[in-house]
């Protein structure tokens, strides 16, 4: 049997200052790691739900996003020539949704409206849009075609002020047309949930637009989306087409870059945590040389001593890990679960809901066990090599 | 567990300090009978502690034979010696070396954790050991809540809890006042007389040595004198 757990547990608190500092360092690493893992999961989730392989987004050739694309009706009408597009079972019309996207600056909730961020406002024809964007589900009524009404994605509603039911949002070229919020919608957690939708003709009129921004197109279930894209990009139509997955993968490029930077930061902090634990454990070993010598004398082998000190460091790291998870949860609870980021070329805000799930917490704690074990390895090795006779003589 | 004779033949042990060779034991031969109480005296550097460490399997000799009971320590590996110590030897140190974060009972229990023994049995043995040293009512006290004498009693309980053949004590009263020293020495005598433990005690103090049945005087790594203590029942012991 190894040394009793109570021995290691109590020894963790023998040096309160260094222990507290180490716990705080580890907590910072774990807190950030939990947050970043939650963010990465949200990003993956967004990409996963925005990966409808049979939905194609069409923009003008040379444009990189809907925000910078203009698709005149004449160009849009060419899409009716494309074969392989799904059709409405009742009307027989091809499922192609003309859409217009503009950005509006709305006050953020997280700083009580002191700053604003761009939100995408999408004008759609509800009949066609809901047939193409199958993951969009209404929570409440849809906007009336004859009134200045909008519906709001649930993440946009969480992020921005003034988007409650009944609130009026000023839209239009001169910001002079009040659109009333009449309902919400979800999109399986995907990027569309960060948007505001209104009736296409009304919004085109409000923004004095005579061109759409893009078209969303549903490919028939038994057709190859790639062949549809080839037709759209071919000489007859000459537009740019991307599957939804490819489009959002491109749009989330900035977010992925951000994640890489934060991950690098976590790695640097992890090295600091390993050093901090190593420092604490070196102090522990130095202060307990005679105790270790006594343990060796009464029959504890080098292996048991080594494992004991590694276990002690892991306990220390887990304390920091527990605190870090708590801090991360508190941050998400009190500061906000939703993180907004700009799309790579749309310059509109994409919101991600970050959750510290039990699985993410488990992964963060597993990482912390590794950090603890790594930090303890050299000091524990030193403890195991304590020469009992010399240490006892010093006593 | 049966007690053991200790036999040391032509032991040599040198330490190196830089380029200087320091002889600690220089051809020492000695036999200690099972169940005896032997005190080892001598000036600093005479090899007392080295001898104790060699008998306890904590250190290895440069040459010579070390036999404790049926075990040839000079032929055993470090791993074997570690396992042997846990079963056959109890150590008592001048500075007690109790673990400050553990209670008296937990300190005494430490050597038992090396055995496959049910927790209930361990608790029983710990209680018995603490009762023998007169600290049954201090089981849950931590070392800083005990006096020096009580700490040494806990250390003695830790040394006897595995029921070893041999108890090795290195200046067990060196840090205690005269009255407490007497109590500790009486306790060691009791362990020798009542429980048949072989006790080898290193001491500078002639009053402590007087508790031994035999007093060995070491000087410069050799046995200078081997005295029988007339005040204590004679033990069958002899030097080569």
Within 8 A of B97 by CB-CB distance, chain A residues are 290-291, 293-294, 392, 395
Q: Quick one: pLDDT at residue A62? A: 84
The pTM assigned to this predicted structure is 0.73
Q: Is the pLDDT of residue B160 over 80?
A: yes
Is A12 in contact with A319 (CB distance < 8 Å)? Answer: yes
Strand ranges across the sheet with B63-68: B20-32, B6-17, B63-68, B71-72
The candidate with the shortest Cα–Cα distance to B97, out of B137, B42, B165, B143, is: B143
pLDDT at B66: 96
Average pLDDT over residues B60-66: 95
Rounded alpha-carbon distances, angstroms, from residue A150 to A108, A135, A172, A214, A310? 19, 18, 13, 19, 59
Q: What pLDDT is stored for residue A338 in this prediction? A: 67
A chain contacts of residue B58, beta-carbon cutoff 8 Å = 297, 388-389, 392
For residue A395, the model assigns a pLDDT of 52
pLDDT (0 to 100) of residue A118: 82
Q: What share of chain B is helix, strand, coil (3-state, %, to 5)?
A: 35, 30, 35
- pLDDT above 70 for A349: no
Inter-chain touch B114–A299, beta carbons under 8 Å: yes
**Token digits of residue B13:** 């042990």
What value does the mean pLDDT take over residues B228-238? Answer: 64
Res. A47 pLDDT band, cuts 50 70 90: low
Query: Residue B59 and residue A290: Cβ atoms within 8 Å?
Result: no
**End-to-end Cα distance, chain A:** 27
Confidence category of residue A258, pLDDT binned at 50, 70, 90: confident
Mutate to test the interface with B, among A297, A301, A307, A393 (most CBs of B within 10 A): A297
Q: What are phi and psi of A374, to 5 degrees?
A: -65, -45
Q: DSSP code of B186?
A: H
At A112-160, the pLDDT tens digits run 778 888 888 999 999 999 999 988 999 999 999 888 999 999 989 988 8
Q: Which residue has the higher pLDDT, A174 or A320?
A: A320
Mean pLDDT across the stretch B120-139? 95
Whether B162 contacts B111, CB under 8 Å:
yes
Q: pLDDT tens for residues A260-292?
A: 888 888 888 889 889 989 988 998 888 889 999
Contact A129, A109 (CB under 8 A): no
Verify whether the Cβ–Cβ distance B113 to A295 is below 8 Å: no
Q: pLDDT tens digits for B94-106?
A: 889 999 999 999 9
More confident: A253 or A175: A175
Quick one: pLDDT at residue B230? 84
Query: Residue A260, class by beta-carbon neighbours within 10 Å (0-12 exposed, 13-18 middle, 19+ buried)?
Result: exposed
B239 has a pLDDT exceeding 70: no
pLDDT at B2: 45
Distances from the Cα of A340 to the Cα of A69, A359, B162, angstroms:
23, 23, 65
Residue A345, pLDDT score: 53
Q: For residue B3, give the nearest of B82, B93, B70 by alpha carbon.
A: B70
| Exposure on the CB side of residue B18, measured as CA atoms within 13 A | 1
Domains (range + CATH), chain B: 6-232 (3.40.50.300)
CA B126 distance to own-chain centroid: 19
Grade residue A178 by pLDDT with cuts at 50, 70 and 90.
very high
State mean pLDDT over A329-351. 69
Q: Do B58 and A389 count as a contact with CB atoms less than 8 A apart?
A: yes
Check B58 against A388: CB less than 8 A apart: yes
**Average pLDDT across chain A, whole number:** 87
Q: Are B111 and A10 a contacting pair at CB < 8 A?
A: no
Decide if pLDDT at B236 tops 50: no
Asked whether residue B3 carries a pLDDT value surpassing 60, the answer given is: no
Strand partners, B169: B92, B201
The confidence band for B237, taking pLDDT boundaries of 50, 70 and 90, is: very low
Give residue A5's pLDDT.
78
Distance CA A304, CA B233 (A): 42
Would you list the DSSP string of A60-71?
A: ETT-SSGGG--B
pLDDT of residue B235: 45
Query: Is the model's pLDDT at A50 over the cut of 70?
Result: no
- Closest partner residue to B58 among A7, A297, A395, by Cβ? A297
Q: Per-residue b/e over B97-124, b at no fewer than 16 CB within 10 Å?
A: bbbebbbbbbbbbbbbbbeeeeeeebee
Of the pLDDT bands very low, low, confident and very high (cuts 50, 70, 90), residue B240 is very low
pLDDT at residue A1 is higher than 80? no
Closest chain A residue to the Cα of B56, Cα to Cα: A297
Residue A14 sits at the chain B interface (C-beta within 8 Å) = yes
Q: What is the pLDDT of residues A62-115, one digit of tens each?
A: 888 887 889 999 999 999 889 999 998 888 889 999 999 998 888 888 777 788
Tens digit of pLDDT for each residue in B46-57?
999 999 999 999
Domain ranges of chain A: 5-48+254-394, 72-238
pLDDT of residue B152 exceeding 50, the answer is yes
Q: Which residues pair with B26 in a beta bridge?
A: B12
């Amino acid at each position: 049997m190894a040394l009793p757990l109570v021995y290691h547990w109590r020894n963790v608190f023998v040096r309160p200052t260094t222990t507290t500092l180490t716990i705080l360092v580890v907590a910072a690493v774990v807190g950030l790691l939990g947050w970043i893992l939650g963010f990465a999961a949200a990003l993956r989730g967004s990409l996963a739900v925005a990966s409808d392989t049979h939905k194609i987004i069409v923009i003008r050739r040379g444009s990189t996003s809907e925000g910078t694309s203009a698709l005149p009706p004449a160009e849009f009408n060419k899409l009716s020539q494309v074969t392989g597009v799904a059709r409405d079972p009742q009307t027989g019309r091809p499922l192609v949704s003309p859409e217009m996207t503009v950005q509006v600056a709305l006050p953020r909730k997280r700083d009580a409206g002191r700053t604003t961020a761009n939100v995408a406002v999408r004008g759609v024809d509800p009949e066609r849009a809901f047939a193409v964007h199958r993951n969009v589900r209404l929570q409440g009524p849809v906007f009336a075609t004859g009134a200045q009404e909008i519906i709001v994605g649930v993440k946009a509603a969480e992020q921005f002020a003034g988007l409650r039911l009944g609130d009026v949002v000023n839209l239009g070229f001169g910001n002079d047309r009040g659109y009333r919020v009449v309902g919400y919608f979800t999109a399986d957690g995907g990027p569309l949930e960060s948007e505001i939708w209104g009736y296409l003709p009304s919004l085109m009129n409000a923004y004095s637009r005579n061109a759409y921004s893009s078209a969303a197109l549903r490919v028939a279930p038994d057709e190859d989306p790639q062949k549809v894209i080839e037709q759209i990009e071919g000489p007859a139509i000459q537009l740019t087409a991307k599957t939804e997955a490819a489009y959002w993968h491109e749009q989330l490029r900035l977010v992925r870059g951000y994640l890489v930077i934060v991950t690098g930061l976590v790695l640097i902090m992890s090295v600091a945590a390993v050093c901090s634990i190593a420092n604490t454990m070196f102090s522990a070993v130095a202060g307990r040389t005679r105790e270790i010598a006594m343990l060796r004398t009464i029959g504890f082998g080098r292996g048991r001593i080594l494992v004991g000190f590694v276990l002690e460091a892991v306990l220390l790291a887990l304390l920091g890990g527990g605190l870090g998870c708590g801090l991360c949860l508190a941050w998400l609870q009190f500061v906000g679960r939703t993180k907004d980021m700009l799309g790579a070329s749309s310059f509109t805000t994409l919101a991600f809901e970050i959750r510290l799930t039990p699985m993410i917490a488990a992964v963060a704690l597993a990482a912390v066990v590794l950090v603890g074990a790594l930090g303890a390895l050299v000091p524990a090795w030193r403890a195991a090599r304590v020469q009992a006779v010399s240490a006892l003589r010093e006593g | 567990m049966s007690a053991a004779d200790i036999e040391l033949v032509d032991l040599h042990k040198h330490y190196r300090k830089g380029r200087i060779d320091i002889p600690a034991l220089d051809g020492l031969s000695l036999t200690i009978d099972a169940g005896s109480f032997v005190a080892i005296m001598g000036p600093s550097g005479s090899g007392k502690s080295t001898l104790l460490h060699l008998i306890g399997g904590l250190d290895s000799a440069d040459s010579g034979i070390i036999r404790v009971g049926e075990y040839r320590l000079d032929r055993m590996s470090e791993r074997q010696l570690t396992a042997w110590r846990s079963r056959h030897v109890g150590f008592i140190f001048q500075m007690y070396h109790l673990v400050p974060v553990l209670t008296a009972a937990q300190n005494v229990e430490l050597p038992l954790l090396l055995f496959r023994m049910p927790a209930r049995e361990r608790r029983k043995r710990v209680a018995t050991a603490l009762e023998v040293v007169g600290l049954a009512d201090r089981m849950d006290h931590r070392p800083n809540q005990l006096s020096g004498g009580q700490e040494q009693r806990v250390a003695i309980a830790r040394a006897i809890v595995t029921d070893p053949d041999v108890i090795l004590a290195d200046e067990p009263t060196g840090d205690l006042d005269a009255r407490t020293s007497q109590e500790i020495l009486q306790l060691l005598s009791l362990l020798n007389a009542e429980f048949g433990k072989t006790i080898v005690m290193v001491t500078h103090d002639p009053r402590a040595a007087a508790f031994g049945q035999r007093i060995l005087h070491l000087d410069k790594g050799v046995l200078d004198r081997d005295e029988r203590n007339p005040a204590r029942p004679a033990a069958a012991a002899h030097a080569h």
